[in-house]
Chains A and B, each alone.
Chain A
Amino acid sequence: MKLKLRVWRQPSAATEGKLVDYEIEGVSQDSSFLEMMDVLNEKLIHEGEDPVAFDHDCREGICGMCSMVINGIAHGPKAAVTTCELYMREFNDGDTIVVEPWRAAAFPPIKDLVVNRTALDHIIQAGGYVSVRTGSAPDANNIPIPKDDAEISMDAAACIGCGACVAACPNSSAMLFTAAKVSHLAMLPQGKVERYDRAVLMVNQMDAEGFGGCTNIGECEAVCPKEISLDFIGRLNRELIAGTFKAAGNR
């Protein structure tokens, strides 16, 4: 395949960025989008130019590191995949492809397509866990958990923390991300003890990081590579309302 690429280049956070045009040839339909970017970078290095910086690691859709807005869509045109799982057979010979970074106030740029997503870690640190010390756990089968509850919990826990939901949201809200963690833990007996504190603390942190509010647009669900359902935002809101009435989150 022969492709035209328009790639966001920004040398550093302090400098302005712009879209730069490149042409590449000989791209295999069986290569992944990131392998196509590898081809571009090898070419740039040989030509004495700076290769395009982009985040990637596992290249099998689970680490959540890769993060490109492709033709205006976070993780590209195919539903339910990460950028690394997007294959060039989704494109046609001669296509022009625009590649940009995640854009959100809470994700400051680092270089080219790389942004800083530490704000998502801060939301988890605010309360996205069960407070249990190593060594103080009872036998694993002591508390039976209905299979359906475990399944719903797992649906939410599948979030990979890539931040596509934020990148896609017109408000740059991290509501789906936060809702996934709150729901994952609130569905399980082990997580119920701290459920209200957790919801209030995590949402407070989300606001403090500069993420926007949720106005139920649904772009997040549409781009989520793990198909995390909007329903979980409903669950989060329930936890949050109950928590607010209980004046939770004061620890």
Chain B
Amino acid sequence: MTTQESSDSKFEVKLGSTKLDSRVPDGPLAEKWDKARFANKLVNPANKRKFDVIVVGSGLAGASAAATMAELGYNVHCFFYQDSPRRAHSVAAQGGINAAKDYQNDGDSIFRLFYDTIKGGDYRSREANTYRLAQVSNNIIDQCVAQGVPFAREYGGTLANRSFGGAQVSRTFYARGQTGQQLLLGAYQALSRQVQAGKVKLYPRSEMLDLVLIDGRARGIVVRNMISGQLQGYAADAVVLATGGYGNVFYLSTNAKGCNVTASWRAYKRGAFFANPCYTQIHPTCIPPAGEHQSKLTLMSESLRNDGRIWVPRKPGDDRPAKDIPESERWYYLEEKYPAFGNLVPRDIASRAAKNVVDAGHGIGPLHNGVYLDFEEAIGRLGKKVITERYGNLFEMYKNITGENPYEVPMRIYPASHYTMGGLWVDYNLMSTIPGLFVIGEANFSDHGANRLGASALMQGLADGYFVISYSMGNYLGGTKLEKVTPTDPAFTEVKREVQARVDKLLSIQGDRTPTEFHRELGKIMWDYVSMARNEAGLKKAITKIAALREEFWEDVKVPGSGDDFNQSLELAGRVADFLELGQLMALDALDRNESCGAHYREEYQTEDGEAKRDDEHYAYVAAWEYAGDDSQPLLNKEPLVFENVKLTQRSYK
């Protein structure tokens, strides 16, 4: 085989033979969830205590799922890599959470929230899942308020709302700029109550390194105790992954440093299909990198786009300070191009527009790598006090990071990797292609299609955790005959041996480059070729480059210390190894999807005015990738998307 052939084979897509069953109930859209709940099998209260459920992750989805299932009586075991469940990265969500309450009397409804979400996702999500999300959104707000989440209020004592991108109604509930933190604390407190009740056991500083299957069902996990380094198997009747997204594949992202794909990736390699990996959201409003030392990027909440105006100098290369550029020489490119939505267009559109103006030489700041988000007009209109009330902590945060005061000079912002719509494939019940393995929150692919609207991630995490998974779990456990298993089962011993071998391998290489150096290099490849704008040549280049980097990693990575110790370099090395494999799959998925949709923008497929151009005839499906061995191409399985309630149109925010 020549080199040419061997590299071409990396671009080849082979179809799998699995017929994916989404298990969406039939009947009218608005009745599906009721129907499913009634059709679900139940476990009687006295029997629930006989079941053990593993939940991996303690963010909004994981904590709410663990608390809710424990309230019902299941024995829940909750694993997370941080030292406390309260630190999961949901904590960092700033802006808010959507719900179809219509408290503003401005024309909102469950159907409108559903419609906005489907449209925002560029018609690449499953109607039934998205509709259910909109249905339970109202219960979430009720639940959180009852828990004591201190949402913002009006003087009359009722809940306040604000607007977010991709919607023309005000349906976002918020707690200053710390909505994620407050919702997570609500879920964490509910979880803590169940810990006290003896129904949840917490496993802090524990990293899931593999999934254990027995008779084709998920029956446990292998975990590394991050303090002692010990590998330990845990058995259960079902496993729930709530392990978040894979945005850190880009190295620089708004994710916490510890966010990783390992749990999902290990499950993928055990048979769970990975859906739409190329759907990754690049958030439009982050602080641009300041130099090589940059280790992560900080998001400035999208809510800022309610009052901030985005602009760049009309003249490329104009280096005058913002205040010296007269109004007539400022280019409010979003307001000009999208008069109906203005600065509140969906994230994918805002990000691409920023990239386009910066690529065209209009970039601002010392590295010319940003656009302005300007509050001068809003401060004049509303006064500084109101702006402080709305965004005070964000302004402080910005000032602290950049050394610039946004009350006086406009913020500099630029897009950054933020959220991943892709994830493990799940059916309507949130079960993956491995029976007994459920995937919730950002870790699954389900509700956002090719682009997620702002304030919808918190909604989805809590919808899955509080209001969906408990029904699915009852149905699964009530309808399945499961033998009891223990971690002494040979299946656990074998998986543990494999995990140990991998740890030993990472430690034995002792090459010249650190895990961080590999991660940074991977991130650069992903950012250059697999981020906001993609094309065939670039994606092929990415696949070839990542393959080479992967090879180099396994020959040249340098991991200090030992495996039986607190070893952060070892943790990172394992995660980077999985990111390297994922990166290749993302590029392949993007290459195979010969259309543009939402955040997946292929330069070859654009409308006359440069918007994403879908190909509904050929690509209205979920791409679910099936692992076929380390030396083989993954297999592509397609779940056709059927739209019975919305008409597929070209998205327009003009």
Does A136 lie within 8 Å of B146, measured CB to CB?
A: yes
Over the window 552-579 of chain B, the binary record of Cβ atoms lying under 8 Å from chain A Cβ atoms (1 yes, 0 no) is 0000001011000110110000000000
Question: Which of B87, B150, B158, B296 has a CB less than 8 Å from the CB of A59?
Answer: B296
Across-interface contacts of B586 in A (CB, < 8 A): none
CB distance from B465 to the nearest CB of A (A): 9
- The closest CB in chain B to the CB of A60 belongs to B298
Question: Which of A111, A144, A157, A190 has a CB less than 8 Å from the CB of B566?
Answer: A111
A130 within 8 A of B: yes
Across-interface contacts of A58 in B (CB, < 8 A): 87, 89, 91-92, 256-257
Does B142 lie within 8 Å of A137, measured CB to CB?
A: yes
Q: Please classify the interface of chain A as helix (H, G, I), strand (E, B), loop, or mixed, using the class held by over half of its residues.
A: loop
Across-interface contacts of B356 in A (CB, < 8 A): none
Does A62 lie within 8 Å of B181, measured CB to CB?
A: yes
CA distance A55 to B141 in the complex (A): 33
The B-contacting residues of A in range 110-163, CB under 8 angstroms, are: 110-111, 114, 116-118, 120-121, 124-141, 143-147, 150, 153-154, 157-158, 160-161
Across-interface contacts of B256 in A (CB, < 8 A): 57-59, 63
A49 within 8 A of B: yes
- The closest CB in chain B to the CB of A186 belongs to B148
The B-contacting residues of A in range 178-205, CB under 8 angstroms, are: 184-185, 187-188, 190-191
Across-interface contacts of B397 in A (CB, < 8 A): 60-61, 85
B67 within 8 A of A: yes
The A-contacting residues of B in range 137-182, CB under 8 angstroms, are: 139, 141-148, 150-159, 175-176, 178, 180-182
A34 within 8 A of B: yes
B643 within 8 A of A: no
CB distance from A76 to the nearest CB of B (A): 12
Across-interface contacts of B101 in A (CB, < 8 A): 140-141
Across-interface contacts of B67 in A (CB, < 8 A): 134
Does B142 lie within 8 Å of A133, measured CB to CB?
A: no
Across-interface contacts of A60 in B (CB, < 8 A): 92, 254, 296, 298-299, 397
Across-interface contacts of B618 in A (CB, < 8 A): none
CA distance A31 to B403 in the complex (A): 11
The B-contacting residues of A in range 201-245, CB under 8 angstroms, are: none
Q: A125-B195, A145-B157, A190-B148 are in contact. Are A39 and B92 (CB under 8 A)?
A: no
B467 within 8 A of A: yes
Across-interface contacts of A89 in B (CB, < 8 A): 403
A32 within 8 A of B: yes
Which among A63, A139, A140 has the highest number of chain B CB atoms within 10 Å? A140
Does A146 lie within 8 Å of B87, measured CB to CB?
A: no
- The closest CB in chain A to the CB of B516 belongs to A42
We find that the number of chain B residues with CB closer than 8 angstroms to chain A is: 84
CA distance A165 to B405 in the complex (A): 28
Across-interface contacts of B190 in A (CB, < 8 A): 129, 132, 134
Which among A46, A50, A57, A136 has the highest number of chain B CB atoms within 10 Å? A57
CA distance A126 to B91 in the complex (A): 22
Does B560 lie within 8 Å of A48, measured CB to CB?
A: yes
Across-interface contacts of A27 in B (CB, < 8 A): 293
CA distance A81 to B80 in the complex (A): 25
A87 within 8 A of B: yes
Across-interface contacts of B148 in A (CB, < 8 A): 129-130, 153, 184-185, 188, 190-191
CA distance A15 to B254 in the complex (A): 37
Q: A135-B139, A154-B176 are in contact. Are A161 and B86 (CB under 8 A)?
A: yes
Question: Which of B147, B156, B176, B401 has a CB less than 8 Å from the CB of A144?
Answer: B156
Across-interface contacts of B512 in A (CB, < 8 A): 46
Q: A42-B516, A150-B152 are in contact. Are A138 and B561 (CB under 8 A)?
A: no
- The closest CB in chain B to the CB of A48 belongs to B560
Over the window 504-529 of chain B, the binary record of Cβ atoms lying under 8 Å from chain A Cβ atoms (1 yes, 0 no) is 00000000101011000000000000
CA distance A53 to B560 in the complex (A): 12
Does A62 lie within 8 Å of B516, measured CB to CB?
A: no
Across-interface contacts of A53 in B (CB, < 8 A): 566, 568
Q: Which 8 A-B pairs have the closest CB atoms?
A: A144-B157, A129-B189, A137-B146, A137-B142, A31-B293, A30-B290, A154-B150, A140-B145
Q: Given contacts A32-B295, A60-B254, A63-B82, could you give 5 more A-B pairs where the C-beta distance is less than 8 Å? A: A80-B396, A128-B189, A130-B189, A134-B64, A140-B142
Q: Which residues of B contact A (CB under 8 A)?
A: 64, 67-68, 71, 82-89, 91-92, 101, 103, 139, 141-148, 150-159, 175-176, 178, 180-182, 185, 188-190, 192-193, 195-196, 202, 204, 227, 254, 256-258, 290-296, 298-299, 396-397, 400-401, 403, 466-467, 470, 512, 514, 516-517, 558, 560-561, 565-566, 568-569
Give 18 CB contacts A-B under 8 Å.
A28-B291, A30-B290, A46-B514, A53-B566, A57-B89, A87-B401, A114-B566, A125-B193, A125-B196, A129-B147, A132-B146, A137-B147, A140-B142, A141-B159, A144-B156, A147-B157, A157-B175, A191-B148
